[in-house]
Chain A
């Protein structure tokens, strides 16, 4: 086999990609995992995991380190901090070109790029990150003791975090675009009955203002289009997750309307030899257990695909 040719290239080193890497390399398949960040994916964002069977409690950092070590021990190669410039999915010999000039080919590809928290995408959001804008209540809540803040979002996380932030903040304004919450009834009741929470429905933030730190936001009422300025010290953003599929959009891989990857029940995409696993899939439940299950299924089916393809070649 050529040095830069692999049986399988896995894109994404979260639990789905690492599991696929463990299965493939243990079966002596030459396997490369490429990750744009660091190995572990969303696992490393998880402080404590208590629902991974067989392990009572573990930090995401530790679990991802163990998965990475397991994959490496079986001979899997992992390159992190890479950026993909181009991919050819359709040829029999698939190819991946990185921005640093490296190029790899493979018999099969597994897409395991997971998901990420949505950001608002409003100007100033990056400037004030850590200076008033936060995406983690447990991390940064205590910086807002006796301060006025806003929480953006209308799902379970937004409502639960708004309530938990009232431990610190003197006032929490909950800003949501729709006319209803997409959350469990008990979460809605708890937020509505909290005296420190004021709710602004059908509203959205249009601008972040301040010099060295966040000082106010502009809020648009989506019904009247009236703009108002809300003075505050912090904004916590909890507006859901999106699949990391930007790099396949507009290519031959079928995505659904939310840009999640569509597969058959073998986790093969519409392109033969290209499989997908984990949170980037079009599916309902997104957990570590479901990601490792997907990683296993995609790896076993990729092996089967390689075996069948080489049998055809021999015949």
Chain B
């Protein structure tokens, strides 16, 4: 189960683990093809060329495999799609719930992933 975006998708929990182990900086947007999620995928698509040191991925929220994100302690109070998780060296450094603007996303990327 994957989303119909132009991003690289993560389909399984194992794939996510592999991705965060193999890449220093990872941003994963876990959502549906809805109005709060699509703008975030769009911003991620555009930021790919600007932040080459970050692996941008999406994951389908309704896939049972997405439990790896849904059940994160950092997402325990989240009640809005998408759940967007930022990993550095395999660890969660930031997590947001609901739609975020390009400025909000780049502020997080600059804070945690600037080289």
Contacts and interface: CB of A to CB of B under 8 A. Distances in A.
A168 to B, nearest CB: 11
B46 A143 contact: no
Interface in B65-115: 77-81, 96-99, 101-102
Interface residues of A, number: 30
B43 interface: yes
B79 A136 contact: no
Interface stretch (A25-33, A38-46, A180-188, A258-266): A38-46
Given A37-B102, A136-B35, A129 B77 contact: no
A131 B97 contact: yes
A136 B102 CA distance: 19
B76 to A, nearest CB: 8
Given A139-B32, A143-B80, A144-B79, A129 B38 contact: no
Contacts of A144: 79
B97 A130 contact: yes
A101 interface: no
Nearest to A234: B79
A242 B97 CA distance: 24
A50 B78 CA distance: 32
A45 B99 CA distance: 11
Given A37-B101, A38-B46, A131-B97, A47 B35 contact: yes
Given A130-B96, A136-B34, A138-B34, A81 B79 contact: no
Q: Is the interface of B mostly helix, strand, loop or mixed?
A: loop
Interface centre among A130, A134, A138, A140 (most CB of B within 10 A): A130
A170 interface: no
A38 B39 CA distance: 7
Given A130-B80, A132-B79, A139 B37 contact: yes
B33 interface: yes
B102 A131 contact: no
B36 interface: yes
Contact of A139 (B5, B43, B81): B81
Interface of A: 37-40, 44-47, 59-61, 80-81, 129-136, 138-140, 143-144, 212-213, 233-234
Given A138-B34, A140-B80, 15 more contacts: A37-B39, A40-B42, A44-B42, A59-B4, A60-B38, A81-B102, A129-B99, A130-B78, A131-B79, A134-B36, A134-B80, A135-B36, A139-B36, A143-B78, A212-B77
